[in-house]
Amino acid sequence: MSATTTLINIEQPQLPSAPALQIEGNVTGKKYWRSLNHLAETPEFKDWVKRIFPANINSMMDGNSRRTVLKLMAASFGLAGLTACRRPVEHIMPNSKGSVADEYAPGEAHHYATVMSIGGHVTGLLVETHDGRPTKIEGNPDHIHSLGAATAIQQASILSMYDPDRSAKVLASGKDSSWNAYEAALQTISLGDGSGLRFLSGMVTSPSLVGLRNEALKKFPKAKWVEYETAARENELAGTAMAYGQALYVHPKFDKAKVILSLDDDFLALDSPAPFMTTLFSRGRRVETEEDLEKMNRLYVVESQFSVTGANADHRLRMKGSDVRQFAIDIATTLGAPLGLNVVGNDKNDKRAKFLAAVVKDLKAAGAEALVVAGPRQPASVQALASLINQQLGSAAVSYSKPVMQGSDTGVNALKALAGEMNSGQVSTLVILGINPAYSAPADLQFSVALSKVANSIHLGLEEDETATAAKWHLPEAHYLESWGDQATSEGLASIQQPAIEPLYGGKTAAEVVARLVGNRDLKAHDIVKNYWLGRFGALKGADGEQLWRKALHDGVIAGSQTGETVKVSVDAKKLAVTLVGEPKAVAGDSKSVEVGFYPSSSVWDGRFANNGWLQEAPDPMTKLTWGNAAMVSPAMARSRGLVDGDMVAIMRGNLKLEAAVMIQPGHADDCISISLGYGRKSCGRAGKDVGFNANLIRSSDGFWFAPGFTVTKTGETHRHATTQEHGTLEDEGNNAERQHDRALVRETTTVEYRKNPKLIEDMVEVPELKSIYAEVKYDQGYQWGMAIDLTSCTGCNACVVACQAENNIPVVGKEQVLRGREMHWIRLDRYYSGDENDPTVVEQPLPCMQCENAPCENVCPVQATSHSPEGLNDMAYNRCVGTRYCANNCPFKVRHFNFLNFHREEKEIVGLVYNPDVSVRMRGVMEKCTYCVQRIEEVKISAKVDGRKEIKDGDIKTACQQTCPAEAITFGNINDPNSRVAKLKKQERNYAMLAELDIRPRTTYLAKLRNPNPELGGKA
Amino acid sequence: MAVIFPKSSDIILKVLGAVVGLGALAGAAAFTYYTYPTVIDTGYQPVQPVPYSHKLHAGQLGLDCYYCHSTVYKAAFAAVPATSTCMNCHTQVKKDSPRLELVRKSYATGQPVPWVQIHRMPDYVYFNHQAHLAAGVSCVSCHGRIDQMIEVRQEKPLNMGMCLDCHRDPAPNVRPAELVTKLDWVPDRDPRVIGQEIIAAKHLDPPTNCSGCHR
């Protein structure tokens, strides 16, 4: 790159017009690529590769001219001269009353159990607080939907609580008002028998709110309570109703399944916002012994968008979302169900037919250990078919339970009926609790218009969102971390939602608002919840309610609350066949039109986390897209329609229209578009406003999850996607694809190959006899920290990335800076494709600092800001760093990150409350990187010393990424102790060190990815 | 061409240059010296809002440091006590003293007493009281004879050199753990020998690498 270049080239190049590239490797038969640019070896990509910092990275940020900077510099020098000679007076403000003195010590962490609900999925969590400030979320090991892990969204939810853009005041018709004024207004509203009263909430998973719902419907018998979620499990209930005649929750048991078929179910990511499914699935793929190799599960996935689950599949078949139904029918029929429906694709050479035959055979062989799951985006018929197939197979890996909190008006159809009532003037009072239908309702309902026809609309919400501005009254809602409540899982297992801080912005909970409306005797959230549970505890004979309450708070789960009765049911295949035949035939669009599929976003979910910087900046696991969404298309569709990355297209059907930017996703199904919900918010805080494209504009109530018949036309405009997929690519100048392959950064093999030759992984790279030019340092005394990351388990879900950000005070840099390659994540997930661009396989590789024993970064630091500890850590002293960036340039893994700007200083003061006080907050000009959470290491070492313990127990120290990992893929510990888990894992034959041939001796090593392909399908992963 | 400047101006210019140059050097040296932490911080003795005498309480009355700074054994920070700790005695003793006006007001209103911080670590330094006390490092090693100070002042520089001196050679500063708050303790034999025995018995190995204190 010449020195005169003034701009980094962020334009995406043309896609190669040649037929799909087929590259042959030599040892593993694989060539890995990070993006289509990588596959095509474009000059822009090569520039990313040869530098850690892209060309011209020193240029000032936009809008900050050289003159302003000089002015600021002059000012700060002046101030420095004035203040340096005198020490500023600082105060210590102790408590007045030391009542909590015995419990409380400044700066010490306390943990409280609580619970969080997203889209009907409930997860028990632990909240870490410092000096009364919640600072970190962890999973609750005692909660069955957490098992100690937490997802990226759960980790980041803590930042939403401190969000300075959160709603802080009552609004009346958009103008500032007060709770008293609201109270006065309520007096004038007569609710009568409730014939004009409607409640609208998200899916109710709170037992005490269910109690209030019943109370409200009893007091106002003609009222209705509608529950609507942008993404929830209603199809599951409808499907079991179709199959069994009663709505039931389906509980797949991934730990009991050996052969799993997912019918468009992204249970490892988007379709399970609770972490436990990943944990149970990963445990079935843990390979430590010969025996494990035999027991490893096998996953088949049928889907349209390339999902995290698809990336972890042993075999994946891509098809449009609407084609999954026929696929399920074919499977059930092949297994002998008398459905009397046509079966397609009998051609034996057809890929689909081969796949289907192999799946059926494998499922049959697994019998009780087979499991078929259908995704929540698939219609009731597919859910019913999945139940039928499980029954045909005699699967013991699934159970059903009766819903315990289900309301009578749920789902998009209930919302549609409500909108109809609102339009016809039947609704005089509408109470919207915690959701944002003006944004999230399907476009055909025109919810905002309907809302304007309601005389008294009351909206309770966390932010001044689209609904808040359209409603007559807006009330600020209390965040789940600052208010009392309770939540129960679909099995009925309840937990108390325990606040860790007083409401920051004076918000109230949904229960409090409803309690006021129904004239409940308890009006405070705490009393509502506690008295509800004391009542339920009282039902237990001779129970001491207070004691049970305290135990519930302490444990985070209420023992014995699991009321969802497990039922034994069976499907009548003939009856189901009648229903299926009777279903209206899917309208096939013409050959020019495409199908559009909608997905919750891995970052902002349905838009409720749009103003969360951690989530906006967390790269999507598959697309590596930050700060926005895109219309995802397959490479073949892009080529046939002349589309390249970043092209704006108009997606239209009837009067539904959306303009969105295209992104080409290798492995995507042809002739369809996938788009994430939750973006394009118009009334939102600073981080989420106008970021991405609002997919709700083309979502309709009849095409809620996928809909055919859309036309796609190029508008001629372009958009820049801030994707990190090429950032941090490890190659150096002159290296071609062959070299990268030779280095075998990611290594994978199949169970068959591995059994044949376990040395295979090690032999992928020849490591010559190496001798360091520096004096040899022996690391054989005391603790020697090391890490092993199992690529077989890792699903690439992003939980570690956000957990690290929360633990280590890592700044958010924004879209502009991400485009310049300045994102700061200390652990990143490198996603590698391999194989054909139409059907690639994927390996995800988490990349923290490797803590090299012969660290190349240390030798080049002119001020010794980075140096080695006797315990093998590559220490960073931030206060010593002068920002030469030599270390980053010398790091072979590109894991060092530089603070180009004062990212933290630009934050509002209140956001600073989320900082972990055990880690320095870095400023501009400082290099930073992963330290294996050295603050956690030191904390445990000190407490062992204080307690007089000689040794730290293995597993006592958990790094933030390890602790939250739902897949249990990360193991940390003392490698000097042969009995530690990490030492044992490192002895595995599939353990390898990246770039070991450079003699850098990384302390972080990887366990190669094992796939378990079906030999009948070629046996190749 | 007429001579504008006489020959002597050469010398004047040279002398002037030397004076300015030396002055700048001296200024830089003075600035460096007077802004050095050991100079700024050592001896820092601000006036506290309440004239509390450590000499009276800790020295003459013999209150243990731990009575007020109760978190030293269990936390990184040695907390300044809550007002209620003062009031444990001062509801009985000197309960009408005008010098205790602020303390009584704080106790009644719940507003904290704004004590002025004296010993302060930069925010990138993670000093842990608990760990040092468990190792047997006395308060006196860093804070000096607080029990002899009427108004507390910073006795030691508390800079990185001081930390490292002790971390490299902790023996002179290590004593039996039960004696750490006995500021007037006089060892009956060579303190270095006592220290070495304790270091051996407790396997003390104070860190000297960066992450020992900087995180």
pLDDT score recorded for residue A886: 94
Residues of chain A with pLDDT under 50: 1-28, 60-63, 78-84, 100-101, 732-741, 1021
A108 contact residues in B (CB cutoff 8 A) = 71, 74-76
User: Given an 8 Å threshold on Cβ–Cβ distance, is A94 in contact with B82?
Assistant: yes
Residue of chain A whose Cα is closest to the Cα of B106: A96
- One of 3.40.630.10, 1.20.1250.20, 2.40.40.20, 3.40.50.1100 is the CATH number of A594-723, namely 2.40.40.20
Q: Is B186 exposed, middle or buried (0-12, 13-18, 19+ CB in 10 A)?
A: exposed
- Nearest Cα of chain A lies from the Cα of B41 at a distance, in angstroms, of 8
The total number of residues shown for chain A amounts to 1021
Of A92, A107, A945, the CB nearest to B80: A92
Give the mean pLDDT of B45-72.
93
- Nearest Cα of chain B lies from the Cα of A742 at a distance, in angstroms, of 36
pLDDT score recorded for residue A1013: 94
Contact present, A595 and A320 (Cβ < 8 Å)? yes
Residue of chain B whose Cα is closest to the Cα of A949: B202
Of A94, A867, A934, the CB nearest to B79: A94
Q: Torsion angle, CA of A63/A69/A75/A78, rounded to 10 degrees?
A: 170
d(CA A454, CA A466) in angstroms, rounded, equals 16
Residue of chain B whose Cα is closest to the Cα of A782: B205
What is the predicted ipTM?
0.89
Q: How distant is the alpha carbon of residue A7 from its chain centre? A: 33
User: Given an 8 Å threshold on Cβ–Cβ distance, is A877 in contact with B79?
Assistant: no
Residue of chain B whose Cα is closest to the Cα of A87: B40
User: Given an 8 Å threshold on Cβ–Cβ distance, is B126 in contact with A935?
Assistant: yes
- Nearest Cα of chain B lies from the Cα of A947 at a distance, in angstroms, of 8
Mutate to test the interface with B, among A79, A82, A89, A92 (most CBs of B within 10 A): A92
Delimiting residues of CATH 2.40.40.20 domain(s) in chain A: 594-723
pLDDT score recorded for residue A700: 94
pLDDT tens digit sequence for B77-133: 988 999 999 999 999 999 899 999 999 999 999 999 999 999 988 889 999 999 999
User: Given an 8 Å threshold on Cβ–Cβ distance, is B80 in contact with A931?
Assistant: no
Angle between helices A411-423 and A234-244 (to 10 degrees): 110
d(CA A157, CA A879) in angstroms, rounded, equals 30
User: Given an 8 Å threshold on Cβ–Cβ distance, is B81 in contact with A94?
Assistant: yes
Sequence-ordered strand ranges (E) for A934-969: none
Delimiting residues of CATH 2.20.25 domain(s) in chain A: 109-162
Contact present, B112 and A124 (Cβ < 8 Å)? no
pLDDT score recorded for residue A21: 38
Of A87, A96, A875, the CB nearest to B210: A875
| Overall CATH class of domain A171-232+408-555 | alpha beta
User: Given an 8 Å threshold on Cβ–Cβ distance, is A98 in contact with B85?
Assistant: yes
Residue of chain B whose Cα is closest to the Cα of A871: B209
| Overall CATH class of domain A109-162 | mainly beta
- Nearest Cα of chain A lies from the Cα of B209 at a distance, in angstroms, of 5
User: Given an 8 Å threshold on Cβ–Cβ distance, is B113 in contact with A94?
Assistant: yes
- Nearest Cα of chain A lies from the Cα of B200 at a distance, in angstroms, of 13
pLDDT score recorded for residue A55: 59
- Nearest Cα of chain B lies from the Cα of A944 at a distance, in angstroms, of 10
Of B85, B110, B134, the CB nearest to A946: B134
Mutate to test the interface with B, among A87, A881, A922 (most CBs of B within 10 A): A87
pLDDT score recorded for residue A592: 82
Three-class HEC string of A473-518 = EEEEECCHHHCCEEEECCCCCEEEECCCCCCCCCCECHHHHHHHHH
d(CA A38, CA A15) in angstroms, rounded, equals 11
d(CA A270, CA A263) in angstroms, rounded, equals 14
- Nearest Cα of chain A lies from the Cα of B29 at a distance, in angstroms, of 14
Helix (H) or strand (E) run with residue A909 in it: none
Read off the DSSP letter of residue A147. T
Quick one: which of A36, A15, A11 has its CA closest to A639? A15
pLDDT score recorded for residue A522: 77
pLDDT category, B1, cuts 50, 70, 90?
low
Strand partners, A301: A262, A316
Question: Angle at Cα A200 formed by Cα A196 and Cα A206, nearest 5°?
Answer: 125
Of A87, A92, A876, the CB nearest to B115: A92
DSSP characters for A750-775?
EHHHHHH-GGGTGGGS-------SSP
Encoding tokens for residue A883? Answer: 């920002």
pLDDT score recorded for residue A794: 96
pLDDT score recorded for residue A22: 37
Delimiting residues of CATH 3.40.228.10 domain(s) in chain A: 249-401
- Nearest Cα of chain A lies from the Cα of B36 at a distance, in angstroms, of 9
Range B78-81 contact pairs with CB under 8 angstroms and sequence separation of 24 or more: B78/B129, B79/A94, B79/A105, B79/A106, B80/A92, B80/A94, B80/B115, B81/A94, B81/A98
Amino acid identity for residue A971 in this structure: T
Q: What is the pTM of this model?
A: 0.91
Q: Which residues of A698-712 are buried (b: 16+ CB within 10 A; e: fewer)?
A: bbbbebbbbbbbbeb
Fold of A249-401: Dimethylsulfoxide Reductase; domain 2 (3.40.228)
User: Given an 8 Å threshold on Cβ–Cβ distance, is A921 in contact with B123?
Assistant: yes
Of A96, A878, A945, the CB nearest to B131: A945
Of A85, A101, A935, the CB nearest to B70: A101
Delimiting residues of CATH 3.30.70.20 domain(s) in chain A: 32-55+727-1013
Contact present, A1006 and A788 (Cβ < 8 Å)? yes
| Overall CATH class of domain A32-55+727-1013 | alpha beta
Of B83, B128, B203, the CB nearest to A942: B128
pLDDT score recorded for residue B173: 95
A934 contact residues in B (CB cutoff 8 A) = 211, 215
- Nearest Cα of chain B lies from the Cα of A357 at a distance, in angstroms, of 57
Q: How distant is the alpha carbon of residue A861 from its chain centre? A: 37
Quick one: which of A802, A597, A839 has its CA closest to A704? A597
Encoding tokens for residue A393? Answer: 């197979």
Residue of chain A whose Cα is closest to the Cα of B125: A920
B214 contact residues in A (CB cutoff 8 A) = 875-880, 920
pLDDT score recorded for residue A37: 83
